[in-house]
Amino acid sequence: MNIALVGVTGYSGQCLYQLLQQHPHVDQIDLYGHGTDNTYDLKENWPLYMNINTKIKPFDVAEILAQDQLIFFATPSGVTAKLALPFVEADFPVIDLSGDYRLATPTQYEAWYHKDSAPQWALAKADYGLAEFNDPTTAYIANPGCYATATLLGLAPLVQQNLIDLDTIIVDAKSGATGSGKQASAGTHFVHVNENLQLYKINQHQHIPEIVRTLKKWNSAVTTIQFNTTLLPIDRGILTTIYATPKQSITTQTLLQDYQQTYQDRPFVNVYPNGVPALKDVIGTNNCNIGVTYNEATNKIMIVTVIDNLLKGAAGQAIQNFNKYFDFPETTALPQTTLTF
């Protein structure tokens, strides 16, 4: 199988490229840049490929349509919207790691992303690929955002089974610095991030609408959620702490059973029988680990979820969607254990 990959130089693109190279059903990976002009060597961006003359070619729709069976977009939000259009039109298989096809309407997209949207007809053709709760029905898979993945997997049993007061949901999410992308700025300077902790995009994070859209599918009574993001002084990983008030009387034990039942056949989701996961428990894997607690004294549920933002939160889930799309075993080429301590 030949696969096209656009945008290999960002963190997610690099990660995706590594995973694709180990995929037993992928014979050839054609690398493309955003632009239409120049060819350059992968090694210019990546010491690892220093000794290898892999070319990144200019973007070429006709070539890709002729030669590949699927295209991955690991391009920035705002770029994919336009680049992907010919493939949407052709119903050619796409897995899109950007946020450009995750929302329902151009209006909503432009309100949260402050960039030009793909047209309505194109958005309508995309499937939101939260792999644990979606079986691909269209050729276009909008791969979920990293925060959205960690939040939705944490909230699914609560919202689907109508266990909580929906207006009490609070998500306090924390992410490592790869989540902010590779662009150098005052905000990604080592000295600004290291030995520090800071909230950002307060009440304005662009993953909020895709979270709410999915929650609404699960439970139409959802309106919105309080969701905040904090930048951690680490390379990778997302931990969400999710709070909610139960609708009726519960115990940690019944709650745990709900989670275990929901995820019993999902190979990448691990519900902890006791306690909550640490972030490092999943780094280097495609797993989402979940801890479930209920505090009788305050009548509050607290759920903790952890993922590797570049794997389950991006490239890993993209491969998982790829596997599902082509009916390969879901875990093909995806790490479930870790070499991290």
Residue numbers annotated as active site: 146
Return the residue of 75, 98, 151, 178 that touches a second copy, per CB under 8 A: 178
Beta-carbon contacts of 187 under 8 Å, excluding residues fewer than 6 positions away, are 180, 193, 200
- Min dist CB 109 to a second copy, Å, is 17
Check residue 15 for interaction with a second copy (CB under 8 A): yes
**Which of 87, 97, 95 is closest to 122 using CA atoms?**
87
Only one residue has tokens 């939000």, namely: 77
Return the residue of 160, 241, 257, 331 that touches a second copy, per CB under 8 A: 241
Return the residue of 53, 186, 248, 264 that touches a second copy, per CB under 8 A: 186
| C-beta closer to a second copy: residue 70 or 222 | 222
Return the residue of 279, 290, 303, 319 that touches a second copy, per CB under 8 A: 279
- Min dist CB 267 to a second copy, Å, is 11
Beta-carbon contacts of 131 under 8 Å, excluding residues fewer than 6 positions away, are 268, 317, 320, 321, 324, 330
Check residue 66 for interaction with a second copy (CB under 8 A): no
Which 35-54 positions form the footprint of a second copy (CB under 8 A)?
47-48, 50-51
Check residue 295 for interaction with a second copy (CB under 8 A): yes
Residue 171: both structure tokens together:
């998500």
Residue 11: both structure tokens together:
């963190």
Residue count at the site for a second copy (CB under 8 A)?
Answer: 78
Q: What is the DSSP string of 142-183?
A: EPPPHHHHHHHHHHHHHHHTT-B-GGG-EEEEEE-GGGG-S-
Helix (H, G, I), strand (E, B) or coil at 302: strand
Return the residue of 280, 324, 326, 330 that touches a second copy, per CB under 8 A: 280
Only one residue has tokens 């009440």, namely: 203
Return the residue of 67, 110, 114, 199 that touches a second copy, per CB under 8 A: 199
Choices 32-40, 63-71, 117-125, 195-203; region in contact with a second copy by CB under 8 A: 195-203
Check residue 111 for interaction with a second copy (CB under 8 A): no
Check residue 222 for interaction with a second copy (CB under 8 A): no
Q: CA-based angle 236:114:187, to the nearest 5?
A: 40
Compute the distance between CA of residue 288 and CA of residue 294 in angstroms, rounded to an integer: 20
Choices 27-35, 64-72, 123-131, 303-311; region in contact with a second copy by CB under 8 A: 303-311
Return the residue of 235, 251, 254, 329 that touches a second copy, per CB under 8 A: 235
CB atoms within 10 A of CB 272: 17
Compute the distance between CA of residue 291 and CA of residue 274 in angstroms, rounded to an integer: 7
- Min dist CB 167 to a second copy, Å, is 7
Choices 66-74, 98-106, 148-156, 190-198; region in contact with a second copy by CB under 8 A: 190-198
Residue 114: both structure tokens together:
């402050």
Choices 65-73, 112-120, 214-222, 278-286; region in contact with a second copy by CB under 8 A: 278-286
Q: At what angle do helices 252-262 and 146-160 cross, to 10 degrees?
A: 120
Return the residue of 135, 195, 265, 327 that touches a second copy, per CB under 8 A: 195
Compute the distance between CA of residue 127 and CA of residue 201 in angstroms, rounded to an integer: 26
- Min dist CB 14 to a second copy, Å, is 7
- Min dist CB 218 to a second copy, Å, is 18
